[in-house]
């Protein structure tokens, strides 16, 4: 018998910021090992086809699926913008990957919304979007932090966050934004993971501030941008110091077509 409710569910998802509990049974996973990914997806517009305005959601989904992640922090996500063909990229990626999602709007853009997202193969709850501070410059774009509670095993919870910091050359906004993230993370009582495009390289003032309360998943990280002959590391995965996490592995994924950033993957254990 055909599922007559599926089209109704799709319509509901297209206008929603978060998904129902897809695959909620996965919360019974016995292992505490997490595969955590961060990916600036460039609104699913491959850089080699930027002038043509090509949108290739399948390429992003394929790049993600190949790494079998449990949790993903996405940046530069379009929802119903004209430039992306009025599609909800958060919904489509969640559907293609059979994952739960939460979209956090940062700004209005081209008739729709633009921001960051969380994808999870585990159930999500207590999702929240925090606006991050910025100066009064006309070039300063609003940035946000998305946080959700993740049930990684039955009765076992962590908090996971996705963010994308200011991209201007001056560090003022990134410094303010990192300070706000540090403040928000300090109030979290569950084990706390954060990932995203910080637009800041190791050794910069924002990363020095970030490294005080957080442990990044690598101390000598591979470059993440540009995708051809990368020269800079600005995408990061980290957790609060004192939290029961242990990094097993970190890599920069050599996926050069789908976006203008290389995705990163960390394998992290949550110790009992």
| pLDDT 10s digits, 75-118 | 999 999 999 999 999 999 999 999 999 999 999 999 999 999 99
Higher local confidence (pLDDT), 5 or 93:
93
| pLDDT 10s digits, 52-75 | 999 999 999 999 999 999 999 999
Q: Quick one: which of 257, 226, 224, 263 has its CA closest to 59?
A: 257
Q: Is 70 exceeded by the pLDDT of residue 222?
A: yes
What is the pLDDT at residue 272? 79
Q: Is 50 exceeded by the pLDDT of residue 28?
A: no
Q: pTM above the 0.75 mark?
A: yes
- Token pair for 28: 């019974």
**Class for the domain spanning 6-270:** alpha beta
| pLDDT 10s digits, 162-177 | 999 999 999 999 999 9
Q: Is 90 exceeded by the pLDDT of residue 29?
A: no
Strand ranges for 18-123 from DSSP E? 33-40, 71-79, 100-109, 112-120
Confidence of residue 20 (pLDDT cuts 50, 70, 90): low
Average pLDDT, the chain: 91
Q: Is 70 exceeded by the pLDDT of residue 215?
A: yes
Alpha-helical runs (H) found in 51-192: 57-65, 89-97, 172-186
């Amino acid at each position: 018998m055909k599922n007559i409710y599926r089209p109704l569910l799709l319509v509901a998802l297209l206008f929603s910021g978060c998904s129902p509990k897809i695959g909620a049974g996965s919360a019974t996973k016995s292992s505490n090992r997490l595969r955590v990914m961060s990916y600036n997806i460039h609104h699913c517009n491959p850089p080699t086809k930027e002038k043509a305005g090509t949108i290739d959601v399948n390429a992003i989904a394929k790049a993600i699926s190949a790494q079998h992640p449990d949790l993903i922090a996405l940046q530069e996500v379009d929802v119903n913008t004209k430039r992306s063909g009025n599609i909800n990229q958060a919904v489509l990626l969640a559907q293609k990957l059979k994952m739960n999602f939460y979209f956090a709007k940062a700004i209005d853009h081209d008739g729709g919304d633009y921001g960051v997202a969380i994808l999870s193969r585990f159930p999500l709850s207590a999702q929240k979007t925090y606006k991050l501070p910025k100066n009064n410059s006309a070039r300063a774009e609003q940035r946000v932090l998305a946080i959700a509670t993740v049930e990684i095993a039955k009765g076992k919870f962590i908090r996971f966050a996705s963010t994308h910091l200011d991209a201007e050359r001056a560090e003022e906004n990134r410094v303010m934004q990192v300070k706000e993230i540090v403040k928000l993370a300090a109030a979290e009582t569950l084990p706390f993971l954060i990932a995203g495009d910080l637009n800041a390289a190791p050794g910069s003032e924002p990363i020095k501030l970030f490294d005080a309360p957080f442990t990044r998943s690598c101390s000598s990280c591979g470059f993440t941008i540009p995708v051809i002959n990368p020269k800079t590391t600005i995408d990061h995965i980290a957790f609060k110091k004192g939290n029961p996490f242990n990094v097993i592995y970190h890599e920069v994924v050599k996926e050069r077509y789908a976006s203008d950033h290389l995705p990163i993957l960390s394998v992290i254990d949550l110790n009992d």
